[in-house]
Amino acid sequence: GQQVMQIPQYQHVQEGEDFTTYCNSSTTLSNIQWYKQRPGGHPVFLIQLVKSGEVKKQKRLTFQFGEAKKNSSLHITATQTTDVGTYFCAGPNFNKFYFGSGTKLNVKP
């Protein structure tokens, strides 16, 4: 079956440092989505990428979709304590929706 892997599993940064998480799929994806889950909360949708090589920005967050549509990345510039949480990528496969293993971000003030 489809596998979606994310690295790193954990990342501890000092506030103000940058952060990047990488997502790799074993199969080509029609689109990829990113979610954020705060501690004790539920996943919340951040963005969707559809086109090969697409890049989208949301304030300090930059999302990329690989040319082969099998990998993606999320980069946060100048992290803040409000960025703490687990970031998941997710991709569809027919009627299923698979989530990556997640990257847990901790930001020290």
Partner 1 sequence: EADIYQTPRYLVIGTGKKITLECSQTMGHDKMYWYQQDPGMELHLIHYSYGVNSTEKGDLSSESTVSRIRTEHFPLTLESARPSHTSQYLCASSDLANTGELFFGEGSRLTVL
The radius of gyration computed from the CA coordinates of the chain, to the nearest angstrom, equals: 13
Cβ atoms 102, 20 nearer than 8 A: no
36 backbone dihedrals φ, ψ, rounded to 5°: -120, 135
Residue 19 or 88: the one with the smaller Cβ distance to partner 1 is 88
Cβ atoms 16, 109 nearer than 8 A: no
Q: Is 11 in the site for partner 1 (CB under 8 A)?
A: no
Q: Is 7 in the site for partner 1 (CB under 8 A)?
A: no
Footprint on residues 55-94 left by partner 1 (CB under 8 A):
86, 88, 90, 92, 94
Residue 13 or 99: the one with the smaller Cβ distance to partner 1 is 99
Cα-based angle 79, 49, 108 (whole degrees, multiple of 5): 15
Residues within the interface to partner 1 (CB under 8 A) = 1, 30-31, 33, 35, 41-45, 48, 50, 86, 88, 90, 92, 94-102, 104
